[in-house]
């Protein structure tokens, strides 16, 4: 694979990683159960795309 074909993949992975970190921080700071469940659902949906270790503990 050449560099131009890898750029979109690298950008996609970096953006996804940043989004997951942002959601995990929001989950740690969430106060209500409803808010926590909503964020956990978002993390779960992101985790379905890439099997392996779960994103929510």
Whole-structure pTM value: 0.80
- pLDDT of 22 reads 96
Q: Average pLDDT for consecutive 10-residue bins of the chain (57 residues)?
A: 86 93 95 95 87 76
Residue 4: predicted pLDDT? 86
Cα separation, 46 vs 19, in Å, equals: 9
Residue 37: predicted pLDDT: 96
Q: What share of the chain is helix, strand, coil (3-state, %, to 5)?
A: 75, 0, 25
Give the model's pLDDT for residue 5.
Answer: 87
- Nearest 5 degrees, angle CA 8-CA 10-CA 15? 95
Tokens 């074909």, located at residue: 5
Residues across the chain: 57
What residue segments make up the domains of the chain, in order of their start? 3-48
Q: What is the pLDDT of residue 50?
A: 73
């Amino acid at each position: 694979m050449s560099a131009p074909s890898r750029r979109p993949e690298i950008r996609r992975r970096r953006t996804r990683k940043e989004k997951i970190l942002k959601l995990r921080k929001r989950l740690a700071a969430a106060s209500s159960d409803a808010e926590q469940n909503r964020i956990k659902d978002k993390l779960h949906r992101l985790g379905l795309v890439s099997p392996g270790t779960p994103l929510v503990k």
